[in-house]
């Protein structure tokens, strides 16, 4: 009983704030179904690491061991990329390769935010913060750890939180940048047949090209494309299903628990954290804006107009962003099916975000 009183006496208002943050993350996971496999372990882990004298965060504690084994060396994000790659169908993109342009355009916010963040943080931290805009949690973790950012915890939380909040953040800005006439543009889906050979050669070619152009992104692209190769090769179907479901879910849960080690009140509740969250949101919004405006720009020259909403799917939040654009199209016109176009743009954004992360690592000394 005496020990209980001593532990309670060590609680500060900062610990109580972190308990509230942990509770909010659990609420979003359970009640709002926002990335529950990540936010639930992250929120519950936040409660654990903010209890005074807890052994899990000691040098040899369970969470510290998990963090060192999977986050500090980027293992968990890379393993997660195998599962993500196995989920992705590049068919819509391969049947209409010009969609790749939208994935590239939607990375605008990363580099714009890099310039802005560099006014408040040193270059390594600014670059790590900017990658939040890709809405790609594994890439954000990989870049932050590789550059040795001291704000890795806040960056992780911001990246995954904004991924979960895609349905709330994107629609208002898409509507703000488009007219109803533009949102009503129909895009008939007439896919070209994509051969099995092309589907197999595509991940191999993307990996080799990226590794030669941006060697720092080689491991990221390798694990992503290896997962896709498992899917498309046709001889590892059971392994592909395991990667998509068991591996992806298991790694995400362990990843969330491991990230919780960075949610300790002393390191998280700082003015810089709020600034990072703001800059991350800034990057996320400008990635969305860049994709939509690029589509509007192309429409100035195209005879067959593009629905500019699909440009917003160029971020890496797969498949959430693609589905949101499709739902917005259906809301305007129940006969307007944008799903395959938006998913094609979405998977191109997945590739582009990884390449953007690699380019940042190539440009920033570390």
Question: Residues 243-247: what's their mean pLDDT?
Answer: 93
Q: Give me 71's structure tokens.
A: 């986050």
38-47, 132-141, 196-205: which is most confident = 196-205
Helix/strand number for the chain, H first, E second: 21, 0
Could you tell me the pLDDT band of residue 38, with boundaries at 50, 70 and 90?
Answer: confident
Determine phi and psi for 255, rounding to 5 degrees: -60, -45
**Count of all residues that appear for the chain in the document:** 366
Write b or e for each residue in 96-133: b if 16 or more Cβ atoms lie within 10 A of its Cβ, otherwise e: beebbbbbbbbbbbbbbbbebbeeebeebbbbbbbbbb
pLDDT at 6: 63
162-166, 233-237, 339-343: which is most confident = 233-237
Question: Which residue in this structure is represented by tokens 């060590």?
Answer: 10
Contact present, 134 and 315 (Cβ < 8 Å) = yes
| CA contacts within 13 A on the Cβ side of 224 | 31
The number of angstroms, rounded, from the C-alpha of 42 to the middle of its chain's C-alpha atoms is 16
pLDDT at 142: 84
> What average pLDDT does the chain have?
86
| CA contacts within 13 A on the Cβ side of 31 | 6
Whole-angstrom distance, CA of residue 231 vs CA of residue 80: 15
Considering only 99-113, 117-131, 203-217, which range has the smallest mean pLDDT?
Answer: 99-113
For residue 192, the 8-state DSSP code is: P
Better-predicted residue by pLDDT, 283 or 202: 202
A 10 A CB-CB count for 29 gives 22
């Amino acid at each position: 009983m005496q020990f209980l009183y001593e532990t309670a006496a060590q609680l500060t208002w900062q610990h109580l704030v972190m308990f509230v943050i942990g509770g909010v993350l659990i609420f979003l996971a359970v009640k709002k179904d926002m990335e529950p496999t990540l936010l639930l372990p992250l929120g519950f882990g936040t409660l654990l690491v903010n209890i005074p004298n807890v052994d899990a965060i000691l040098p040899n504690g369970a969470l510290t061991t998990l963090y060192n084994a999977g986050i500090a060396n980027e293992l968990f994000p890379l393993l997660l990329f195998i599962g993500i790659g196995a989920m992705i169908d590049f068919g819509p993109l391969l049947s209409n390769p010009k969609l790749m342009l939208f994935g590239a355009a939607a990375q605008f916010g990363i580099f714009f935010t890099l310039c802005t963040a560099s006014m408040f943080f040193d270059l390594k931290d600014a670059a790590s913060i900017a990658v939040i805009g890709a809405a790609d949690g594994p890439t954000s973790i990989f870049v932050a750890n590789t550059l040795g950012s001291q704000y890795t915890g806040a960056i992780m939380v911001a990246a995954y939180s904004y991924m979960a909040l895609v349905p709330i953040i994107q629609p208002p800005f898409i509507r703000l940048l488009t007219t109803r006439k533009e949102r009503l543009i129909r895009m008939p889906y007439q896919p070209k047949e994509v051969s099995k050979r092309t589907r197999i050669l595509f991940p191999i070619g993307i990996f080799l090209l990226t590794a030669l152009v941006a060697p720092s992104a080689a491991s990221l692209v390798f694990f992503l494309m290896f997962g896709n190769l498992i899917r498309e090769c046709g001889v590892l179907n059971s392994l592909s299903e395991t990667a998509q479901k068991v591996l992806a879910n298991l790694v995400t849960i362990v990843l969330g628990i491991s990230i919780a080690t960075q949610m300790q009140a002393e390191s998280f509740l700082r003015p810089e954290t709020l600034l990072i969250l703001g800059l991350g949101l800034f990057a996320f919004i400008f990635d969305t804006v860049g994709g939509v405006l690029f589509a509007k720009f192309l429409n100035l020259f195209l005879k067959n107009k593009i629905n500019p909403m699909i440009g917003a799917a160029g971020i890496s939040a797969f498949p959430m962003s693609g589905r949101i654009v499709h739902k917005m199209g259906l809301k305007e016109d129940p006969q307007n099916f944008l799903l395959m176009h938006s998913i094609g743009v979405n998977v191109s954004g997945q590739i582009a975000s990884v390449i953007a992360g690699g380019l940042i690592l190539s440009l920033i000394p570390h």
